[in-house]
Amino acid sequence: QDVFRVAAVAPSATNDLAFSQSMYDALVAIQMQMGEDNFQFDFQDGTFIVDDAAVALREWAASGDYDLVIAHGSQFGSVVEELAGEFPEVSFAWGTDFNTFGMDNVSAYNAAADQGGFINGAMAGMMTRSGVIGVVGPIEVGDAKLYVDGFVAGVGAVSEATVNVVYIQSFSDVPLATEAAETHIANGADVLTGTAQMVVGPIAVAIENGARWFGTQASQAELAQGAGVAFQIYKWDVVLAEIIANIQAGDLGGQSYELTLENGGLVIEIAG
Amino acid sequence: MNNPKTHLLPTGHARIESLTMSGIVKRFPGVLAADKIDFNVRSGEIHALLGENGAGKSTLMKMLYGLYHPDEGEIRINDKPATIKSPIDAIQRGIGMIHQHFMLAPSLTVAENIALGMKSSRGFQLDLDVVSQRVIELSDTYNLKVDPRLPIWQLAVGEQQRVEILRALYKGAALLILDEPTAVLTPQEVAGLFRILKQLAADGHGLVFISHKLHEVLEISHRVTVLRDGRRVDTIPTRQATRPKLAEMMVGRPVLLEYAKNPPDPREERLTMRDVSALSNRGATGLDAVSLRLRSGEIVGIAGVSGNGQQELAQCITGLRDVTAGSVMINGRDVTNAPPAALHAIGLSYIPEERMIDGVIKEFSVAENYVLQDHGHPKYTAARVFMLFNKIREACRRAIHLFEIKTPSTETLVKSLSGGNIQKLVLARELSRDPGVLIAAQPTRGVDIGATEYIHKQLLEERDKGTAILLISEDLDEIRALSDRIAVMYEGRIVGEVVNENVDIEQLGLLMTGGE
Amino acid sequence: MNQAVGTSLAARLNRLVDFAPVLVALLLALLVSSVLLVALNADPLAAFGFMLEGAVGTENATAETLVKATPILFVGIGITIAFRGGMINIGGEGQMIAGALAGTTIALALGDARVPAEMAKAPGAFDLVIVASALGGGFLAGALYGGLAGFLKAYFGVNEILSTIMLNQIAVQMMNFLLNGLLLDPAVAGFNNIPKTARLVTAAQLPRLALPLGDPWVFARTRLHWGLVIAIALAVVIYIFLWRTSLGYRIRAVGENERAASYAGIHVKRQMMLAMFLAGGFAGLAGVVQVLGLQYRLQTDGSPAGFTAAAGFNGIVAALFGGLNPIGAIPASAFFGGLLVGAQKMQREIGVPASLITAVNGLIVVFVVSSEIFILQRSKRRVSLQETPLAPARASAKRADSPDPADEPTAEEAG
Amino acid sequence: MDLDDIFTASVFASAIRLATPYIFAALGETFAQRSGVLNLGVDGIMLMGAFGGFYAVHLAQTAGVMAEPLALLLGVLVALVVGGLMGLAMAFVSVTLQAKQGISGIGVYLFGLGLSELLFQQWVGTPKSVAGFPRISFPILTDIPILGEIFFHHNLLVYVAFALVPLSAFVLNRTTFGLMIRAVGQNPEAADAMGVSVTRVRYATTIIGGMLAGLAGASLSIALINLFQQNLTAGQGFIAVALVYFGGWRPLAVAAGAMLFSFVNALQLQIKVIGADIPSEFAVMAPYVITIVALVFATKRQEQPTALTKPYERGE
Ligand SMILES: Nc1ncnc2c1ncn2[C@@H]1O[C@H](COP(=O)(O)OP(=O)(O)OP(=O)(O)O)[C@@H](O)[C@H]1O
Ligand SMILES: Nc1ncnc2c1ncn2[C@@H]1O[C@H](COP(=O)(O)OP(=O)(O)OP(=O)(O)O)[C@@H](O)[C@H]1O
Ligand SMILES: [Mg+2]
Ligand SMILES: [Mg+2]
C-alpha cells in the first residue's frame, strides 16, 4: 500500500523539448529514484484546454487514489484553488507560480528562470562577434519573461551587444517563430535564444545560418547539433522530491518552492 | 448493318430510326409523374408533347436524356433496349435536349457555355475563338442574335433561350428534344426556329417539341401526344387535331380560347413615369428617358423583343433598380428610388419575369411564399411579431382552391411545384394584396393553356375592378388579347404607342425590331 | 382501428431504424480507431468502454458532458441563425472572446461596486443585477463583434468567412493585450503571471445547477451550472424566433434567396447584419457563461482554444449536425460534448497520447456526418411510398367538370 | 526610426518565404472551391503532408540510402501522395456521401492534426531536423544587390509555389478542364446536362487541392523549417481558406492576398526586431487587420462558385 501515486496534467506534448517535457522527465526521474514499486504516476498531456484539465484533476481528486495531483501550467491556478477547497484531504501542486492560495494542501512551484537566463546571456554576450543577439519569446509572461529578462541582463553585464527581443504571442506557432529568427539573422544576429515549444524553428534557423543557440526549459542539444551552446534545464524532480517527502511526512502543502541554480533545480548543460 | 453511310445524318450522327418508351413509370415524393406512359418518336418526325403544367412532359423527356431514371418501363432505340444512365450516355447515343429551365452557368460566357463538355480543337486548351466564330455563323444563319463573349448573367431571358437553341444546333443530335423553346422567343424568332426544325426533320432527325402554344403545335408537328396528370391521354396525327380538341384533351374540358373583353373605362392616373433612365446589368444604358402613364382600369401592354429594357422598366417601377434620372409617381406620390417595401404599402404588386429567382423562395413552403411581402402584416401576425400560421395557411388554402394551384399541401416546398403552378401561386399572392397598380412581367410564360386562360381572365377581371395593369410580354397574342393600349420598347426607349383596337401587326413587328 | 395502431407502430419503428446509419457510422469510426489503438498496444474494447464511461458513466461524467456541451450549444444556436441568414460564421472563437472580455469586465466592476468586501466570498450571495448585466454585456459585445463582419459584408462586400477568420486572431491579441494590462488581476500584477483577471465575487457567478431527484441532489457535487438551462431555453426561443416571427422569416428569406427577399421589400443588408449580430451575440454569451459559470475569471495562454476550448468551431459542427435547427443543436452539442469528454477519459485511463484522441474525434465526426445520406435516402423513400400523389386541391376545385378523383393514380396502383 | 531600416530587402525576402505555404494551400483550395467543394480540412492535410514529407526525408537521410536531392524528391512525392489521399477521402465524404462540407472538413482537420502528431510521436519522438531544400544561388542573379536577396536566394519549393500561380490561372481559365471546373461550381445541373461528370470533376479538384495542401505542409517541413513538430502549421490552413475568399477565387488575386498578408507579417517582425515600441499584440494583429482593410477598399471582382458547399444530386 506504500506506493506513492501521482497524477499530472500538462498543456503540451511530453516530448516538446520544453515545458511539458520538463515535468514528464522529472516524474520519470523520481520513479527511477524511488523504484516502480514505490512510485507510480498518471500523466495526461495535451490539456491546453483548461476545462479538459479541470475534468481530469477533479476526477483524480475525487477518486482518492492519488497522494499528489499536479497541475503543470500556470493557467490551471483557478482550477486548483477551487478543487483544493473542495477536496481538503488531497494534496495539490501547481506551477509555475508562488501562490498557494493560503491553503494547507496546495504547493506552488516556480523556476527562477532568470538565473540561467543571466548565465546564458553572459555567455552569449561574450560570444557574439556581430554584437547583435536575437531573442524569440512566446507571450510576455511567466518564466518566459523571467528567462528573457535575465538573459538581457546577462548580456548587458558583459558586453555592449544589442539584444533584439520579439514576442510572437504564441507558444506553438513554429512558422512565425522561424521567420522571427530569420529576421534576427537578417538584422545581423549571430546568437539566438528563445523559450517555449516553438523554438524548434529558431533552432533550425540557427543551424542553417551558422548562428549559436542558447536554450532553456529542457535540453535541446540533440536538435541543436553544432549550433547549441548551453541549455538551462528545469529539474522539477528537485522540488517534487521535497514535496513528496513532506506529504509522506503528513504535510499536505502550504509552501511554495523554487528551482534555482543553488538548489540544483536549475542546471546549465553545456553542449558537447 | 448493310451500308452505314445511309444511317448517317448531315451532322454526322447515326440516325435514330425509332425511339420507343413503353410502360414508363416515374415517382417523385408525393407525385406520380409518369404512369405507364408509352411514347415513340421516329426519324424525320416532329412529335409534339402537350399537357398542362405538371403533366409530366419534362419528366418524361429527362428520362430520355438520362437526367432521371424510370422506375419501371423500357426504352428502346432502333428496336434495341437502351439504358440511358446519364446525359453522357444520351449524348453518345445522339440525343440532344434544349432544357426548359436553362442549363447555363451564369458567370460563364456564351461561348464557354457552348464549349462546355465538348472536345476542343486544341486538345486540353480551350478554343473559344473557334467556338465563338462558329456561334456567330450559326446565329447569323438562323437569325438568333447573341454575342458569344458576354456572360450569361448579362443576358435577358430571351437571349438565354437563344443560347440554349444555338448550343443544341452547334452540337447537333440525331434526336433533339425541345422543352418549351418558344416560350420567350419573338414571333420572328419562332418562325426562324421552325424553319430550322423542319429542315432538321427533313434531314432525318427526330424531334420532340414541347409547347403550351397550340397554334405552334398545329403548325409544326406531325403527331401530338397529350399527357394529363402523368398519363398519356392519346397520340394523334396532327392533321386530325384542332385547337379546341387539343385543349380539351389536355384539360379534360372545353377551354375558352378567346376572351370577351369589356370596353375600357380608364379613370384616374395611377402610375406616371417621366423621362426615367437607368443602367442595365451590363452597366450600359438600360432605360433611356422613358415616359409612361397608366390609369386605373386599363391594361397597357409593353411589347418588345426580350432585352430591350422591359426588365429594367419593371425594376425601376418596383424599386429593384436605381433610377438614374427622371421620376416615378404612383398615386400622385413621388416614389423615385423608393424601397420596395414602401411601394408595397401604397398598393403596388409585381409579377416578376424570373419567378423562380425573384418571385418565390424555393426552399420555403407554399404558405410561406404566399406571404412573402405580407409576412409582417397585422392580419397575419400577432403584435406584428408572431406569425399566425393558422391564418396564413387558411388564406393560402383559399388561394390554392381559387387559383387551382396543384400542390399536395400548403406545407409543400415550392421547389417541387411545376412552373405553371408556381406562377399561379405568384399571381394569387399578388392579386390577394388588392393592388392599385400591378406590373405583370411575362405572366403566362411557360404556363399551360388552362392556366393561361385562368390568368388572363383574372387580369381582365382585375382591370375591370379598377386596377391599373402594366403587362410586359413578348407574346404578341397575349398583348393583343389583353391590352387597351400598347407601347413598344426598343433599345431602352418607348418607340411607339398605339391603341389596341386599330393596331397593325406588321407595324408592331417593325417597331419591335427598331424599324420606323 | 387495429390496423392504424399497427401502422403507426411500424412507422415509429421505421423512424427509429433511421438512426441505424448513425450507429453503424459510429461503429465504423470506432473500428478504424481500433486499428490505431491496437497499433499502440491498447485494448480497443476497454478504450471505448472508458470513452462511454467518461461521457455518461457517472453522475460527474454526465455533468461534465453537459458542461462541455453548454458553450457549444450557445455557439451552435448562433451559427444556426447565421447560416439560416445565409452567413457562414467561422468567427465563433473571436466572438466568444469579445463576449467574455466585456462580460467579465462588467461582472468585475459591478462586483466591486455592489458587493461589500466582507460579503464578496460569502456563499449564495447571487446577485441577479450583476449576472444579468454581465450576460447582457457579453451578448452585446459578441453581437457587435459578429455584427462587424455582417456590416463589412453588407456594405463593403467583404466575405464573412475571410473576415471572421481574421477577426478571431484579432480578438485573441486583443484579449492578450487587455489581460496583460488593463484587466490584469491587481493581486498578481508584477508577478509575471499568466495574464488573467481577478476572480469574480460569488455574487457575480452563475449558480451551480442540481436537480432535486434524490438526496443529495443529482449533480450537487459537479460543475454543472445554470448556463445549460439558459442555453436550452434560448434554443427554444430562437426556434420560435426563426420559424414563428416575422423577423425570423425575413432572416431566413434572405438566407435562402436574396433576390426574392429584396423583391419582397426586405432590407437584405439589415438582415445580414442582424443574422451576424445575433450569431455573435450567442457566441458572446458562450464566452461570458464560461467565465461566470465555470472559470470565474478570464485568463489566456495566448491561444484562442486555451480559453474557448474550441467551442467556437465545435459550435459549427453542432449547428450542422443539428440540422440548422436550434432544437436539433441541443442533442448535437450533447453528443459532441460527450465525445470530447469521453475521449479525455479514455486518454487518461489507458495512457494513450492526446493526439490519438484528436484523430479519433476527427474520424467520428467524418463518419457520422457521412451517414446522413443514408438517413435522407430512407426518409425520401418513405415519403414516396406513403403520400398520395397530386393535388388534393384539384379534386375539390370549383371546375364543374374536373376529372373524377378516382381517375387519379393512387399510391396503391403505382406501387 | 528610419524607413530604410524597416523596408529592407530581407523583409521582402521574408514575405516571399512566409507566403509560400499559403500559396500552395490556397491555390489548391481555389481549385476545390471553384468546383463547389469547400474543404475546411486544409490545415489537417497540410499537417499530414508536412509529416509525410518530413518522415520520408528523415528516413532516407538517416539510412543514407539515397542521394540528397533524391531524398528530397521522395519527400515531395510522399507529401503529394499523402495529401492526395486525404483529398480523396474528403472527396469521397463530401461528393459521394454528400456529407455537409463544413463538418466533414473540420473532421478531416482534426484527423490530420491528431494523426500527424501521433505518428510523429510514435515514429520520430522528439523534434529532429533534416537537411531540407537548400537555398539556390543563381549565377549573377543572386549577386544583384537587393533584388538578388529578395528574389534569387530561395529554395526550390518557393519558386514552384510562385510558378503555380500563373499555371493555375491558366488551367482554370484557358483549358477545357478549367471550364468544367468553373461550370460544375456554378451550375452543376448544367454541367451534368452537358455531359460533364460533376462527380469526377469534384474528385479531381479535391484531390488536387489535397496534393497542394500536402505540398504546402512539406514546404514547411522540408524546405522552410526543416523539421516537424505537432501542429507545425499553427492554423495556416485556415488562413489559406480565408485567402481564397480574399482573392475572390482567382489565383492571381489569391496569391496577391497571400503576399499582402505575409508582407505585413514580415514587416511586423522586422519592426519588433529593430525595437519599435508597440505592444507585440498589436504587431501580431496587424496582418489580420490589414487583410480585412485591404479587402474593404479593394474592388471586388469575384468568381463566386454559386454551388459552393452544395452537394450535387440529380433532382430525382
Ligand atoms: N502549447 C501551449 N498551449 C497552451 N498553453 C501553453 C502551451 N505551452 C505552454 N503553455 C502554458 O502557458 C502558460 C504561460 O505561463 P508562464 O509563461 O507563466 O509559464 P510557463 O508555463 O512556464 O511558460 P512556458 O511554456 O513558456 O514555459 C504556462 O502555464 C504553460 O502551461
Ligand atoms: N425532381 C422532382 N422532384 C419532385 N417532383 C418533381 C420533380 N420533377 C418533377 N416533379 C413533379 O412531377 C410532376 C411532373 O413535372 P414536369 O416538370 O414533368 O411537368 P411538365 O409537364 O413539364 O410541366 P410544365 O409545363 O410546367 O413544364 C409535377 O407534379 C412536378 O411537381
Ligand atoms: Mg416542363
Ligand atoms: Mg412550364
Tell me the pLDDT tens digit for each residue of D17-51: 999 999 999 999 999 999 999 999 999 999 999 99
B–C touching, 3+ CB–CB pairs within 8 Å: yes
Q: Please state, as a whole number, how many other Cβ atoms lie within 10 Å of the Cβ of residue C383.
A: 12
- Position C218 scores a pLDDT of 87
Sort out which chain C residues have CB atoms less than 8 A from A54's CB and list them: 223
Same domain (yes/no): B154, B185? no
Q: How far apart, in whole angstroms, are the C-alpha atoms of residue B260 and residue B267?
A: 21
Which SS3 state, helix, strand or coil, does residue A69 take?
strand
- Position A271 scores a pLDDT of 84
Mutate to test the interface with D, among C155, C259, C366 (most CBs of D within 10 A): C366
The closest residue, in CA terms, to atom 4 on ligand 1 is A48
Which SS3 state, helix, strand or coil, does residue A214 take?
strand
Q: Which of C165, C356, C370 sits opposite D118 (nearest CB)?
A: C356
**A195 Cα nearest atom in ligand 1:** 26
Task: Give residue A74 CA to ligand 1 midpoint distance, Å.
Answer: 7
The answer to whether the beta carbons of residues C176 and C300 sit under 8 Å apart is: yes
Are B362 and C264 a contacting pair at CB < 8 A? no
Q: How far apart, in whole angstroms, are the C-alpha atoms of residue D83 and residue D178?
A: 21
Q: How many contacts, defined by CB atoms under 8 Å, are there between A and D?
A: 108
Tell me the shortest Cα–Cα distance from B19 to chain C, in angstroms: 25
Mutate to test the interface with C, among D285, D299, D308, D316 (most CBs of C within 10 A): D285
Q: At what angle do helices D198-219 and D236-246 cross, to 10 degrees?
A: 130
**Closest C-alpha among C101, C91, C102 to residue C150:** C91
Same domain (yes/no): B123, B159? yes
ipTM of the complex in this document: 0.87
- Position C14 scores a pLDDT of 64
Q: Which residues contact D104 (CB under 8 A, 6 or more apart)?
A: C365, C366, C369, C370, D41, D90, D93, D94
The closest residue, in CA terms, to atom 3 on ligand 1 is A48
Question: CATH fold of D3-125+155-297, please?
Answer: ABC transporter involved in vitamin B12 uptake, BtuC (1.10.3470)
- Position B421 scores a pLDDT of 86
Are B104 and D190 a contacting pair at CB < 8 A? yes
Task: Give residue D261 CA to ligand 1 midpoint distance, Å.
Answer: 27
Q: Which residue of chain B comes nearest to D175, CA vs CA? A: B125
pLDDT per residue as tens digits for the range A20-43: 999 999 999 999 999 989 999 999
Q: Which residues contact D83 (CB under 8 A, 6 or more apart)?
A: D45, D46, D48, D49, D52, D210, D211, D212, D213, D214, D215, D217
Tell me the shortest Cα–Cα distance from C322 to chain D, in angstroms: 11
- Residue B31 carries which side chain, given as an amino acid letter? V
B124 touches chain D (CB under 8 A): yes
Ligand nearest to the CA of C195: 1
Q: How far apart, in whole angstroms, are the C-alpha atoms of residue B494 and residue B293?
A: 12
- Position C349 scores a pLDDT of 87
Among residues B246, B281, B307, the one where a domain terminates is B246
Same domain (yes/no): B451, B337? yes
The answer to whether the beta carbons of residues B362 and B416 sit under 8 Å apart is: no
Q: Which residues contact B330 (CB under 8 A, 6 or more apart)?
A: B270, B271, B272, B343, B346, B347, B348, B436, B437
Q: Which of B104, B117, B126 sits opposite D187 (nearest CB)?
A: B104
Query: Of A223-227, C17-21, D69-73, where does mean pLDDT reach its minimum?
Result: C17-21
Q: What is the mean pLDDT of residues C32-54?
A: 90
Which SS3 state, helix, strand or coil, does residue B208 take?
strand
Q: B361 lies in a domain? A: no
Q: Which of D102, D112, D288 sits opposite C316 (nearest CB)?
A: D102
- Position B436 scores a pLDDT of 92
Which SS3 state, helix, strand or coil, does residue B288 take?
strand
- Position C393 scores a pLDDT of 32
Bond from prior residue into D139 cis (ω within 30 degrees of 0) = no
**Closest C-alpha among D165, D158, D138, D217 to residue D17:** D158
Q: How far apart, in whole angstroms, are the C-alpha atoms of residue D158 and residue D12?
A: 13
Q: How far apart, in whole angstroms, are the C-alpha atoms of residue A26 and residue A240?
A: 8
Q: What is the mean pLDDT of residues B180-186?
A: 82
Q: Which of D106, D118, D284 sits opposite C316 (nearest CB)?
A: D106
Are C363 and D107 a contacting pair at CB < 8 A? yes
Q: Write out the three cell numbers for B69.
A: 431514371
pLDDT per residue as tens digits for the range B351-394: 998 888 899 999 999 999 999 999 989 999 998 889 999 999 99
Q: What is the pTM of this model?
A: 0.88
Q: How far apart, in whole angstroms, are the C-alpha atoms of residue C298 and residue B406?
A: 59
Spell out which residues line ligand 1, taking CB within 6 angstroms: A 11-12, 19, 48, 73-75, 96, 138, 141-144, 171-172, 195-197, 217; C 194, 301, 303, 306
Range of the domain at B25: 13-94+175-246
pLDDT at residue C397 is higher than 50: no
Q: B364 lies in a domain? A: no
C–D touching, 3+ CB–CB pairs within 8 Å: yes
Tell me the shortest Cα–Cα distance from C13 to chain A, in angstroms: 38
Same domain (yes/no): B439, B491? yes
Are D192 and B86 a contacting pair at CB < 8 A? yes
Q: Which helix (H) or strand (E) holds B30?
A: none
pLDDT at residue C120 is higher than 70: no
* pLDDT, averaged across chain D: 92
Sort out which chain B residues have CB atoms less than 8 A from D312's CB and list them: none
Q: Write out the three cell numbers for D303.
A: 468568381
Cα Dmax for chain D: 68
**Closest C-alpha among B439, B365, B417, B356 to residue B396:** B365
**A142 Cα nearest atom in ligand 1:** 18
- Residue C292 carries which side chain, given as an amino acid letter? L
What CATH number is attached to the domain comprising B55? Answer: 3.40.50.300
Q: How many domains does chain B have?
A: 3
Higher pLDDT, D164 or B190: D164
Q: Which helix (H) or strand (E) holds A152?
A: helix A142-158
- Position C13 scores a pLDDT of 65
Same domain (yes/no): B86, B108? no
Ligand nearest to the CA of D316: 2
Higher pLDDT, C407 or B359: B359
End-to-end Cα distance, chain C: 23
Q: What is the mean pLDDT of residues D115-126?
A: 91
Q: Which residue of chain D comes nearest to A172, CA vs CA? A: D234
The closest residue, in CA terms, to atom 24 on ligand 1 is A196
Are C358 and D110 a contacting pair at CB < 8 A? yes
Q: B4 lies in a domain? A: no
Task: Give residue D290 CA to ligand 1 midpoint distance, Å.
Answer: 29
Domain ranges of chain C: 1-42+352-415, 65-350
Bridge partners of residue B187, in order along the sequence: none
Q: How many contacts, defined by CB atoms under 8 Å, are there between B and C?
A: 133
- Position C398 scores a pLDDT of 34
Query: Of A71-80, B6-15, B234-243, where does mean pLDDT reach its minimum?
Result: B6-15
Higher pLDDT, C381 or C248: C248
- Position C11 scores a pLDDT of 64
Same domain (yes/no): B53, B155? no
Ordered per-residue pLDDT tens for chain A, 272 residues: 579 999 999 988 888 788 899 999 999 999 999 998 999 999 998 888 888 899 999 999 999 899 999 999 988 988 999 899 999 999 999 988 888 989 999 999 999 999 999 999 999 999 999 999 999 999 888 888 999 999 999 999 999 999 999 999 988 899 999 999 999 999 999 999 999 889 999 999 999 999 999 999 888 888 998 899 999 999 999 999 999 999 999 899 889 999 999 999 999 999 86
Tell me the shortest Cα–Cα distance from C356 to chain A, in angstroms: 11
pLDDT at residue C116 is higher than 50: yes
Chains in contact with chain B (at least 3 beta-carbon pairs closer than 8 A):
C, D
- Position B406 scores a pLDDT of 87
The closest residue, in CA terms, to atom 29 on ligand 2 is B54
Sort out which chain D residues have CB atoms less than 8 A from C313's CB and list them: 106
Bond from prior residue into D142 cis (ω within 30 degrees of 0) = no
Q: Which of A7-16, A153-162, B252-261, D60-69 has the highest mean pLDDT?
A: A153-162
C-alpha distance from residue A263 to each of A152, A191, B184, D310 (Å): 23, 29, 92, 64
Are D190 and B126 a contacting pair at CB < 8 A? no
**A97 Cα nearest atom in ligand 1:** 18
Sort out which chain A residues have CB atoms less than 8 A from C196's CB and list them: 75, 77-78
Q: Write out the three cell numbers for C393.
A: 386541391
A–C touching, 3+ CB–CB pairs within 8 Å: yes
pLDDT at residue B212 is higher than 90: no
Same domain (yes/no): B330, B239? no
Are C191 and A49 a contacting pair at CB < 8 A? no
C-alpha distance from residue C333 to each of B501, C65, C240 (Å): 69, 9, 19
**Closest C-alpha among C349, C353, C68, C358 to residue A59:** C349
Q: Which of B91, B106, B124 sits opposite D175 (nearest CB)?
A: B124
Grid cell 467579465 is found at C104
A–B touching, 3+ CB–CB pairs within 8 Å: no
B28 touches chain D (CB under 8 A): yes
| Band of pLDDT at residue C407, cut at 50, 70 and 90 | very low
pLDDT at residue B455 is higher than 60: yes
Tell me the shortest Cα–Cα distance from B125 to chain D, in angstroms: 4
pLDDT per residue as tens digits for the range B484-502: 999 999 889 998 888 888 7
Q: CA Rg, chain D, in Å? A: 20
Sort out which chain C residues have CB atoms less than 8 A from D291's CB and list them: 162, 166
Percent of chain C with pLDDT over 70: 83
Rounded to 5°, angle at Cα C240 from C237 and C244: 155
Q: How far apart, in whole angstroms, are the C-alpha atoms of residue B57 and residue A77?
A: 72
Sheet holding A191-194, edge to edge: A162-167, A132-137, A191-194, A212-217, A228-234, A266-270
Q: How far apart, in whole angstroms, are the C-alpha atoms of residue A106 and residue B7?
A: 95
Which SS3 state, helix, strand or coil, does residue A267 take?
strand
- Position B3 scores a pLDDT of 44
Percent of chain C with pLDDT over 90: 47
Query: Of B300-304, C199-203, C257-261, C354-358, where does mean pLDDT reach its minimum?
Result: C354-358
pLDDT at residue C190 is higher than 90: no
Q: What is the mean pLDDT of residues C391-409?
A: 33
Sort out which chain D residues have CB atoms less than 8 A from B417's CB and list them: none
Are D114 and C362 a contacting pair at CB < 8 A? yes
Q: Write out the three cell numbers for C81.
A: 441563425
Q: What is the mean pLDDT of residues D169-179?
A: 96
